[in-house]
Amino acid sequence: MALETLSPSRAGDFKHCPQLFKFRAIDRLPEPTTVYQARGTTAHVALQRLFDLPADERTPEVLYDLFRAAWAEMRTEEEFEGMFSSVEEERAWGIESLELLANYFSVEDPTSFDPIDRELDMLEDLDGITIRGILDRMEETPDGRLVITDYKTGKARPERYAIPAFFALKI
């Protein structure tokens, strides 16, 4: 099987562990979705929808409602079925998710800017292999610099481990 496209995350897999890359990109072995992936996907959808709204409506309460609505839509999809063993476990996951989303508002004020672009599909041919990545959000600062934002819902890594985590953004 010839590899025609490569995402930054798959390139990171290869750099970290070539066998993992083979399993994911070449063999395409199925992997169960984790609660962390479900949280990230749901938060990503909620943040995407938050920026569909006028700036003055981008409040924590609206983001929480968008997260709940996104999860209500997604939770019945096959990849998420059976993820929680009880309603209480799912509820605890939801509460923890909302607490993490609250942190977003301590990092930036989404009412203070409008993105230039979101979900920007980036493609680049590199000797016959297309490098493909998606930028979550891009905005311009008042001094004309571009800022690229990649939504993350996990814990911040210690500094010595953070640099390799930026590998995908470097690509």
Q: Tokens for 47? A: 């943040």
User: Within 13 Å of residue 104, how many CA atoms lie on the same side as its CB?
Assistant: 28
Q: Tokens for 14? A: 């290869």
Considering only residues 135 and 143, tell me which one the structure prediction assigns the higher pLDDT.
143
Average pLDDT over residues 4-24: 77
Q: Tokens for 139? A: 């905005």
Q: Indicate yes or no: pTM above 0.85.
A: no
Q: How confident is the model at residue 168 (pLDDT cuts 50, 70, 90)?
A: low
pLDDT of 159 reads 62
Say which range, 23-32, 34-43, 104-113, 132-141, has the weakest mean pLDDT.
23-32
pLDDT of 5 reads 75
Contact between 20 and 10 under an 8 Å Cβ cutoff? The reply is: no
Delimit the domains of the chain by residue range. Answer: 5-27+115-170, 35-107
Give, for 104, the enclosing helix (H) or strand (E): helix 87-107
